[in-house]
Amino acid sequence: MAPMQVFRAPFLLVVAAALTAACGAPPAKPDPRANWYRDVQPIIATRCATCHVPGGITPFALQTYEEVKEHSAQVANAVSTHRMPPWVASADCNSYKGERRLTQSEIALLVDFDKQGALLGDVADQHPLKPTGAELPWVDKTVKAAAPYTPNQFAADKKRVDDYRCFILDPDLTSTRDLIGFEVVPGDRRAVHHVLLYTVPKAEAMALEDGSPEGLGWQCFGGPGTDAPKMVGGWVPGSGVTRFPGQTGVSLFAGDVLIMQVHYNLSQTTAIPEETQVKLQYSVNPVPYHAQMFPLVDKKFAIPPNSMGYARSIEFELPVDATIWGVIPHLHTKGATAKVEILPPTGTTGADTCLVDIPKWDFQWQQFYFFSAPRGVPMSANSRLKLSCSWNNPTSQTVTWGEGTDDEMCLAFLYVTGKI
């Protein structure tokens, strides 16, 4: 028994000591006021600092305590009015990977932080910061245009703020490869506002390059300018790497090239030569589920002059079962709303499934929305896909489908697997 007592004695002593401490001096209650280390830094690091980097597209960096303190009133206002982080898809429709949306309690903390004097708090309360932008597990090929490009160099007055340019990126494929992930690395983070990637046969892309009178690449706004481009993906600041969901991938065929459409916006910067790169990750073996980028297109609209909220929708019946993993709607700058839904087969009853709903379209923030459901959204044969768009047209011209800045579009690409 003796050894047992030897062990028990210190244990009782510790308990006794703890009780004495608890009775003698109750632990201080945590300060209820919001502070940097405990409350604000984790939100800023994961939800804001991805875009608000020094030398990025934003008017100021939000990384350090000093930076956030200096802008705390603007931060409180921007988050409580839902201007920041930029995220245009409605929460009532579906949920997506990588949503840039704050919870009510995160918003409340940022508002309190400002109201309560931007307190620093105790460094001992600092959370270990998780790395935010995940990396591709490996990269097979990095592609970029043939030379650097200076945005806006062909604008007659040099005062243009936006420049939309298409470039050929050649992955030099001699056999089919399945793309399972990619990362867009902007050359000048202050200028590159969004990037869309398409695949087309090389000859079609070369015809556009050769037909362009001015320098590297060609001016392109609505699409790359080829007949049936296949969308591969998109990027906006803060979206990090794209890894296609499930065991899916997009086949790139021998002889195909990528067309990279870059939207440069020079409102925060002056143009410098820049080279945006795209890192490509291929599957080692062919993927079990090949995805198609299925286009839903309404080309037949005519938006009346001086009209607000002119709306159209089209329906498309899919003859086979399919799984939808993601969707990217595309309108131009007169776009007001965009929505994609699945409706049950004609004549049957059943619930509609909302895929994406953008109640206030913003041309600056168009991106792929991949559903957070791990197995995607199933769609049974003969269900209907419905695409709805509306526009505001303040001009005195009727606006129709086209690729120019004054034209409009109503288009969505769906990332789909199945026998379609």
Binding stretches for ligand HEC (CB under 6 A): 47-48, 50-52, 57-59, 62, 71, 74-75, 78-79, 83-86, 100, 102, 237-238
Q: In whole angstroms, what separates CA 237 from the centre of its chain?
A: 7
Q: How far is the CB of 116 from ligand HEC (least distance, A)?
A: 16
Q: How far is the CB of 190 from ligand HEC (least distance, A)?
A: 10
Q: How far is the CB of 117 from ligand HEC (least distance, A)?
A: 18
Query: Within 13 Å of residue 344, how many CA atoms lie on the same side as its CB?
Result: 6
Residues 102 and 86: their CA atoms lie apart, in Å, by 10
Residue whose CB is less far from ligand HEC, 217 or 329: 329
- Phi/psi at 161 (5° precision): -90, -35
Which tokens belong to 196? 């869309």
Residue whose CB is less far from ligand HEC, 56 or 229: 56
Per the listing, tokens 């401490």 go with 21
Q: How far is the CB of 99 from ligand HEC (least distance, A)?
A: 11
Residue whose CB is less far from ligand HEC, 101 or 300: 101
3-state secondary structure 78-127: HHHCCCCCCCCCCCCCCCECCCCCCCHHHHHHHHHHHHCCCECCCHHHCC
Q: How far is the CB of 74 from ligand HEC (least distance, A)?
A: 4
Residue whose CB is less far from ligand HEC, 307 or 364: 364
Which tokens belong to 75? 């931060």
Per the listing, tokens 């902007």 go with 186
C-alpha triplet 279, 285, 290: angle, nearest 5°: 80
Residue whose CB is less far from ligand HEC, 191 or 327: 191
Q: How far is the CB of 193 from ligand HEC (least distance, A)?
A: 8
Q: How far is the CB of 412 from ligand HEC (least distance, A)?
A: 21
- Phi/psi at 14 (5° precision): -65, -45
Residue whose CB is less far from ligand HEC, 236 or 296: 236
- Phi/psi at 268 (5° precision): -105, 5
Residue whose CB is less far from ligand HEC, 71 or 165: 71
